[in-house]
Amino acid sequence: MQSNLVDFIQVLRSHDIRVSPAETLDAIGVTTTLGYSDRNLLRDGLAMTLAKTPAEEVIFLDCFDRFFQQDLANFSSEEVPNKQDESKDADQADNAAVQSENFFTSQISTLEMAAKSDPSLKSLLHTPLMENLLNNNRPELTLAINAAAQSVDLQKIQMFTQKGQFTRRILDAMGEEQIRNAVIALERAENPALAVLQRFRDILRQQVRDYVEREYLLHAEGKNQQFMDDILSKTRLNNLEHIYLHKVHELIRKMAKKLASRHAHKRRHLKRGQLNMAKTLRKGIPNDGVMFNTYWRQVKKEKPQILAVCDVSGSVAAYSKFLLLFLYSLQDILPKVRSFAFSSHLGEVSTYFDDYPVEKAIELVNWKYGGATDYGNSLMDLSKLALDDINSNTTVIILGDARNNNGDPKLDILQSIFQRARQVIWLNPESRRAWGSGDSEMLRYQSACHFSAECNNLKQLERIVDQLLKSTR
Amino acid sequence: MHTQHFPQLESVELIEQGFEAFGYICSRKIATAVFLAFQLRKPVLIEGPPGVGKTELAKTIAQLLDTPLIRLQCYEGLDEAKALYEWKYGKQLLYTQVLKEKLGDLLQGAIGLAESVEKLHQFGDIFYSEEFLEPRPLLKAMQQDKGAILLIDEVDKSDYEFESLLLEILSDYQISIPEIGTVKARTTPMVFLTSNNTRDISDALKRRCLHLYIPFPTVELEERIIRTRVPNVTEALRHQLVEFVHSLRQLDLKKAPAISETIDWARSLLLLHADQLDAELVRSTLNVLLKYEEDIETADSELRSLLSTRSSDKRTT
């Protein structure tokens, strides 16, 4: 059972629940204290040690139910398509099994009749697999499937494409081959027992298929989710299909949360720094060198301020959604963020982000500020709105492709911002090779930035924000 | 360090019954958490919306086991001087005064500074000793001979640094005092931490605790709670008011009414000699249930539909 528990914890981990070895030990402690007799009690107890948030608890309960599913494989004589319903309603199936017992015996006798003329079928009937099937010995068959699954390492299933392959391997391991051969032999002989044997074969196959399906959901679903997330965060944002949008939402939220938990914890600075010996001595001179008062080096408290400016024009339409989403989450994390959006003119959008939920806010911003790009005009607006507030504690982030439709770039304004601000960061969704080509003013603007980077997938975005947050602390 | 044996905590069922005797109706999950906490000697981190009985749980266990309840209310700026221990500075000052007077007697016959210092070292130094230690809640809980219930209330309100301070206590039931050494708990206390989830608790702290989430109760459970807490309310009214509170929780409110509010409401209805809910009565007593003006307005506008759906339910049953 202990190894079973460890398997279960592996499953939890693949579903994004972090379980440390210490917690595994706790879980073992819980199982030994509570015992295995009461399923609900055990579930609640394990949930307390393994799931640490209400959200994790939901995932836990789901996994628990799937992993410790107690249904036995069902081989009664009902028709194959009904099988799925039966697993939900085991009692009913039991009744059906009793009723059909007579029908069963008649079928067995048919097979035995046929076996008299066919030696291979005769030997088949005496294999443990076939005996169990004929007697509808469900516990034994379930055990056999489990054992076969173990022997072919079903737990390592990764992709849904492997399902068929694993089903076949399990069937082989159980010795289904003999049944297959017997079916072929009966077919050749045109024996009436053929239908009966075929039915047993189909039941077996269906059961194994269901079993593989269940295990796949348990072991591979979580891994696939991680795989998908990984791929999504590395894809260029403008290449993402529309259907993945909500997933990206989720990812950005996750990312923002991760960054927030890493950086939200403010390090409390001691107000008093080191003893300022020189000043203390100097101030002591009027008192004949007696140092009445001590003087300390003050720790200067910095209040980081961030101005985020985002291009929402048509040329970056594919990105602006993500960039705004990112701005929105940024405003949640950092205390002093002012957000601006522009295409032909520029305006402050912080209030939208404060007042509305994310989708609504993004829609409003796009509607109000979307259009053709004019960087020169927008920079002028920015300097009117915020230049006075930019000081040595301000970080200015500009998100845009720097394509100015051949207008006046007004580089001098960006330069004055560059001189005042602590840092100016330009994040450009275009790849570095395209910078400066056509109407792109990126190379010129770059000269007035402390740091410029291409930023077109979530991984890059995360890395840059992380850096940013570190430097603003 | 030894651990107290409590027959009251032998099984989950016993705990449930014991709690009920003290008027605390709990779900199976809560009883399981208490059972595990006792068996595995682990602290329990209780989360849930305000007013679902997180603090009450610790109080009830203290009553059930007849052990002292030591409570530490957390707040921003709570530090070790207020949570762990402090030196009795006044007494220490007096001690040095006394020492000064006695110094002549003590150093009698010592010639030279070196010898005096050596002689001084031979006396036991009690300046930093347990006599001058002022125990604060956490240390006090470690010093109880018969075990104690330690309730660290609203741990999410405390600073990040304070959480790290708790780690040693929660995993090893000991406190390190630099001047003295490690103080181990005489009897392992049962520790309960509560959190309203205003911020995320660190993983290190979570790892050391059993995690118990107390949600709003089901209708049946809440009716049982009202029955034990406010026994004079008639059966019909009890059902009505609990149903009403449950439908209130479905609304989009700033703060949904919790069990404590339901109990208060039941009490006030009892004072008003009500035996049936009607719109007028509910409207005039809504401020017992809801604590924000906006919420009261929202509920007020929905009142008709809330009450009518409930009465139609009743007709069909």
Q: What is the DSSP annotation of B268-298? A: HHHHTT-SS--HHHHHHHHHHH--SHHHHHH
Tell me if chain A has a CB within 8 Å of the CB of B159: yes
> B42, A45: Cβ pair inside 8 Å?
no
Tell me if chain A has a CB within 8 Å of the CB of B196: no
> A48, B200: Cβ pair inside 8 Å?
no
Say how many C-beta atoms besides its own lie within 10 A of residue A50's C-beta: 25
The sign one gets for the Cα dihedral A152, A157, A159, A164 is positive
Burial of A87 (0-12, 13-18, 19+ CB in 10 A): middle
Task: State the smallest CA–CA distance between residue B308 and chain A in angstroms.
Answer: 33
DSSP state of B266: H
Q: Which among B35, B159, B206 has the least Cβ separation from residue A52?
A: B206
pLDDT for the residue B314: 45
What are the chain A neighbours of B210 within 8 Å (beta carbons)?
48-49
Task: State the smallest CA–CA distance between residue B54 and chain A in angstroms.
Answer: 16
Average pLDDT of the residues in B170-177: 89
Of A99-103, A173-177, A381-385, B86-90, give the lowest mean pLDDT range: A99-103
Is the predicted pLDDT of residue A232 greater than 60, yes or no?
yes
pLDDT for the residue B315: 44
Q: Are B45 and B209 in contact (CB under 8 A)?
A: yes
Q: Which of residues 243-272 of B touch A (CB under 8 A)?
A: none
Q: Which among B29, B200, B211 has the least Cβ separation from residue A51?
A: B211
Average pLDDT of the residues in A32-49: 87
pLDDT for the residue A89: 43
**pLDDT-derived band at A71, boundaries 50, 70, 90:** low
Which of A83-92, B110-119, B218-227 tops mean pLDDT? B218-227
> B207, A40: Cβ pair inside 8 Å?
no
Residue A410 CA, distance from chain mean position: 43
What are the chain A neighbours of B200 within 8 Å (beta carbons)?
261
Q: Are B154 and B51 in contact (CB under 8 A)?
A: no
What are the chain B neighbours of A26 within 8 Å (beta carbons)?
40, 42
> A48, B39: Cβ pair inside 8 Å?
no
Is the predicted pLDDT of residue A87 greater than 50, yes or no?
no
Structural domain boundaries in chain B:
7-83+140-213, 85-131, 219-304
CB–CB contacts below 8 A, A to B: 49
Is the predicted pLDDT of residue A25 greater than 60, yes or no?
yes
State the Cα–Cα distance between residues A364 and A362, nearest whole angstrom.
5
pLDDT for the residue B58: 92
AA letter at B275: D
Task: State the smallest CA–CA distance between residue B278 and chain A in angstroms.
Answer: 37
Q: Which among A22, A29, A41 has the least Cβ separation from residue B207?
A: A22
pLDDT for the residue A237: 63
Is the predicted pLDDT of residue A339 greater than 90, yes or no?
no
> B36, A33: Cβ pair inside 8 Å?
yes
Is the predicted pLDDT of residue A23 greater than 80, yes or no?
yes
Say how many C-beta atoms besides its own lie within 10 A of residue B205's C-beta: 20
Which of B232, A295, B184, B127 has its CA nearest to residue B176?
B184
Tell me if chain A has a CB within 8 Å of the CB of B31: no
Average pLDDT of the residues in A322-344: 75
Of A181 and B73, which is predicted with more confidence? B73
Is the predicted pLDDT of residue A262 greater than 70, yes or no?
no
Is the predicted pLDDT of residue A269 greater than 70, yes or no?
no
pLDDT for the residue A185: 79
Secondary structure of A163-195 in HEC code, one letter for each residue = HHHHHHHHHHHHCHHHHHHHHHHHHHHCCCCHH
DSSP state of B188: P
Tell me if chain A has a CB within 8 Å of the CB of B40: yes
**pLDDT-derived band at B46, boundaries 50, 70, 90:** very high
What are the chain B neighbours of A60 within 8 Å (beta carbons)?
none
pLDDT for the residue A77: 43
What is residue A243's three-state secondary structure? helix
Question: Cα-atom radius of gyration of chain B, to the nearest Å?
Answer: 27
Average pLDDT of the residues in B302-315: 62
> B36, A34: Cβ pair inside 8 Å?
yes
**pLDDT-derived band at A155, boundaries 50, 70, 90:** confident
State the Cα–Cα distance between residues A450 and A425, nearest whole angstrom.
6
Of A232 and A365, which is predicted with more confidence? A365
What are the chain A neighbours of B42 within 8 Å (beta carbons)?
26
What are the chain B neighbours of A30 within 8 Å (beta carbons)?
36, 40
Of A227 and B267, which is predicted with more confidence? B267
Phi, psi of A306 (to 5 degrees): -125, 130
> A48, B33: Cβ pair inside 8 Å?
yes
> A48, B32: Cβ pair inside 8 Å?
yes
> A30, B36: Cβ pair inside 8 Å?
yes
Average pLDDT of the residues in A113-132: 71
Is the predicted pLDDT of residue B289 greater than 50, yes or no?
yes
Is the predicted pLDDT of residue A329 greater than 80, yes or no?
no
Residue of A nearest to B49 (CA): A54
Burial of B55 (0-12, 13-18, 19+ CB in 10 A): buried
Q: Are B156 and B198 in contact (CB under 8 A)?
A: yes
**pLDDT-derived band at B77, boundaries 50, 70, 90:** confident
CATH code of the domain occupying B7-83+140-213: 3.40.50.300
Of A136-150, A246-260, A382-396, B91-105, give the lowest mean pLDDT range: A246-260
State the Cα–Cα distance between residues A194 and A90, nearest whole angstrom.
29
Is the predicted pLDDT of residue A98 greater than 90, yes or no?
no
Q: Are A33 and B39 in contact (CB under 8 A)?
A: yes
Q: Are A184 and A125 in contact (CB under 8 A)?
A: no
Please enumerate in sequence order all residues whose Cβ is within 8 A of that of A49, keeping only pairs 6 or more positions apart, or say none: A23, A26, A27, A29, A30, B36, B210, B211
pLDDT for the residue A88: 40
Phi, psi of A89 (to 5 degrees): -125, 75
Of B13-22, B100-109, B148-157, B284-293, give the lowest mean pLDDT range: B100-109
Of A70-74, A189-193, A418-422, give the lowest mean pLDDT range: A70-74
Of A220 and A203, which is predicted with more confidence? A203
State the Cα–Cα distance between residues A437 and A457, nearest whole angstrom.
21
Which of A52-56, A274-278, B98-102, B153-157 tops mean pLDDT? B153-157
| Per-residue exposure over A245-269, b if at least 16 CB sit within 10 Å of its own CB, e if not | eeebeebbeebbeebbeebbeeeee
Question: Angle at Cα B203 formed by Cα B202 and Cα B207, nearest 5°?
Answer: 125
**pLDDT-derived band at B193, boundaries 50, 70, 90:** very high
> A268, B33: Cβ pair inside 8 Å?
no
Q: Which among B39, B40, B207 has the least Cβ separation from residue A20?
A: B207
The pTM of the full predicted model, rounded to 2 decimals, is 0.65
Q: What is the pLDDT of residues A403-456, one digit of tens each?
A: 888 888 888 888 998 888 888 888 888 888 888 888 888 888 888 888 888 877
Of B3 and B169, which is predicted with more confidence? B169
